[in-house]
Structure 1
Amino acid sequence: MRIFLAGATGAIGRPLVPMLVADGHTVIGTSRGHAHDDTLRARGAEPVTMDGLDRAEVLAVVGAAEPDVVIHQMSGLAGSSGDLRRFDEDFAATNDLRLAGTDNLLEAAREAGAKRFIAASYTGWPQARTGAPVHDESAPLDADPAPESHRTLAAIKHTEAAVTGARDIDALVLRYGMFYGPGTGLARDGDLLAMIRARKLPVVGGGGGVWSFVHIADAARATALAVGRGRPGIYHVTDSDPAPVAVWLPYLHRLLGVRPPRRVPAWLARPILGRHGLNMMTSTRGADNTLARTELGWVPDHPSWRDGFRTLTD
């Protein structure tokens, strides 16, 4: 099949391109400029440039590609501050791509006659912070987000509503968990791992926020499988071991050979983290991946972060 991959040089796009090529597909991969053309060709893709916010350009580029499947992996996190109090500011460019970018790409996919559309989303902090500690795809998203993440959650909701509301194309939303592995913040040379090594990420309050992780290669494989499998709908693409911060963070400290993480009362951390950061550390919910495993036939190589994190230190 002909696969149009919007965002072929991003965290998922980098490992996804060679997987799609190995599966026998023709991949047309986009970036914002020509700097990545040689890299995309080396990975087996046909490079094209596209501004996802330019409707006319998106319609023209996608139309010329004549894809069978369109995959939306566009994001814009370059220059992120990492300050959770500025969460919406850091995600402003990505949110534009979740809003207008999703609409443009979905329209272009329809006009080009594509049969399938796959869009990236996120699970974890966007979930309602009520009920069970682990939610499946039927659970609602947060109705009371922190002020720092209000616009980002609205953009996520828009993407999911636009994709799941499509009736003339098979459309899937893949809600990824927290990425780790090459090219992510939680990699051997990643910013987040550097913070953890320096004991700058504490356990806040009781550390009850439940996180769901996924190795970047496993996330890419689930995306490749979604090209030909799975009914339209939403899928949690996470490992099978959701865990509270109070469990996974000390474990990672031990793997790194550093002293246990600091512990900070919630009231003291809030001015530093903001309400959004406090929610992530104390009350976010994990994700159940049963649907992705059964519908997509996905078997992650790293079913638990407990083993997967060892790849960060080997």
Structure 2
Amino acid sequence: MRIFIAGGTGAVGTRMVPLLVAAGHQVYGSTRHDAGCERLAAMGANGVVMDPLDADSVRVAVAVAKPEVVVHQLTALGSLSGNLKKWDEEFAVTNRLRTEATDHLMAAARANGVRRVVAQSFGGGWTLERTGGWVKDETAPLIADPGKEARATLAAIRHLEEAVTAPEAGVEGLVLRYGNFYGPGNATSREGAIGELLRKGRMPVVGGGTGVWSFVHIDDVASATVAAIERGAPGIYNIVDDEPAPVNQWMPHLAEQVGGRTPMRLPAWLARPMIGEFGVAVMTSVRGSSNAKAKQELGWSPSYATWRDGFRTGIG
């Protein structure tokens, strides 16, 4: 099968390519620079230089690849600081990739007879309605207002999910709501934004720390995406591990693994001026996600079933 990965040299793309090549697929990956083509070639894939925010560039790249499946892995998350008050500001480029670039990819897919589009979304906690049960499946609605710090980011996520899965899109559209990544090179690694804050004792547990997060190892993200390329009905899937967990459980455990002290406790009223309403919600009221649908319909299970084991052996 011919597969085009938009974002082939990104964190997920570079883990997917070897899996797809080993399975016998003909893989094309987009990159912004010629050096990326060399990197893809070394993995057995074909590199295509593409500007994802330029409609003509995207159209040409997809036409060159002539794929049956397009995989949307375009983000710009490499320099996040973890500042919850600047969420939309730090996600500004990624938000354009989730809106403008998604529209360009969908138009190119329709023009070239692409059968299936698999796109990256987010399902680690804060995007979901914060009422009812603490663990949600894919039928749970996105929250109407996540807080002023994250409104543009949620709007971009909503746009991507609707653009890919709408019946009028003309493709088999699958959206994968990835949990919070961990693994080498990600925020929870020893040198990542969260790992560094915990090592330095600068990330407290706010309020009761009852906000529930869902995690997933970066290698499990890649294997789930490969599964969605090959099977599964159109729709939305949560790609997370088996154990959604409140902040008051996972944060002390991660702090220990990265060499930090047990995080201090901070009342919500005292933290609010520093991290904003969105930050307080992330610590106290967000919901986690269930992976039952992905297990049943994609035939996928995470190799790191729980962050408890993954943080100990797989954070990098």
The TM-score, its normalising length taken from structure 2, stands at: 0.96
How far has the Cα of 1:10 moved from its partner?
1.4
Classify the secondary structure of the residue corresponding to 1:62. Answer: helix
How far has the Cα of 1:256 moved from its partner?
4.1
Q: Is the 8 A contact 1:188 1:312 kept in 2?
A: no
| Matched residue, 2:73 | 73
Greater shift in the superposed pair: 163-172 or 247-256: 247-256
| Matched residue, 1:101 | 101
Describe the superposition over 1:74-119 as per-residue Cα deviations: whole angstroms up to 9, x where unpaired.
1123443432111111111111111111111011111111111001
| Matched residue, 2:242 | 240
Q: Is the 8 A contact 2:189 2:258 kept in 1?
A: no
Coordinate RMSD, CA, aligned: 1.4
Q: Is the 8 A contact 1:16 1:221 kept in 2?
A: yes
| Matched residue, 2:21 | 21
Greater shift in the superposed pair: 237-246 or 256-265: 256-265
1:231 maps to 2:233: yes
Classify the secondary structure of the residue corresponding to 1:125. Answer: coil
- The amino acid across from 1:142 in the alignment is I
Classify the secondary structure of the residue corresponding to 2:262. Answer: coil
Which 4+ residue blocks in structure 1 deviate beyond 4 angstroms?
A: none
How far has the Cα of 1:291 moved from its partner?
0.4
- Residues 198-209 of structure 1 aligned to structure 2 (within 5 Å): 198-209=200-211
Classify the secondary structure of the residue corresponding to 1:227. Answer: helix
Greater shift in the superposed pair: 170-179 or 18-27: 18-27
Classify the secondary structure of the residue corresponding to 1:35. Answer: helix
| Matched residue, 2:130 | 129
Classify the secondary structure of the residue corresponding to 2:27. Answer: strand
Q: Is the 8 A contact 1:181 1:311 kept in 2?
A: no
- The amino acid across from 1:185 in the alignment is A
Describe the superposition over 1:1-52 as per-residue Cα deviations: whole angstroms up to 9, x where unpaired.
1110001121211211111111111111111122322221111211111111
Q: Hey, what's the Cα distance between the residues in 1 that align with 2:137 and 2:79?
A: 33
Describe the superposition over 1:115-173 as per-residue Cα deviations: whole angstroms up to 9, x where unpaired.
11001000111111111000000000011211010000000000011111044211100
- The amino acid across from 2:91 in the alignment is F
Aligned positions, number: 314
Q: Is the 8 A contact 2:134 2:212 kept in 1?
A: yes
| Matched residue, 1:143 | 144
- The amino acid across from 1:163 in the alignment is V
Greater shift in the superposed pair: 289-298 or 55-64: 55-64
Change (3 A) 1:173 1:38: same
Greater shift in the superposed pair: 43-52 or 219-228: 43-52
Change (3 A) 1:257 1:49: closer
1:254 to 234, 240, 256: 256
Q: Hey, what's the Cα distance between the residues in 2 that align with 1:307 and 1:273?
A: 29
- Residues 1-314 of structure 1 aligned to structure 2 (within 5 Å): 1-123=1-123, 124-167=125-168, 168-312=170-314
Q: Is the 8 A contact 1:236 1:291 kept in 2?
A: yes
Change (3 A) 1:155 1:166: same
Q: Hey, what's the Cα distance between the residues in 2 that align with 1:134 and 1:79?
A: 29
Q: Is the 8 A contact 2:122 2:176 kept in 1?
A: yes
How far has the Cα of 1:185 moved from its partner?
1.4
Q: Is the 8 A contact 2:50 2:61 kept in 1?
A: yes
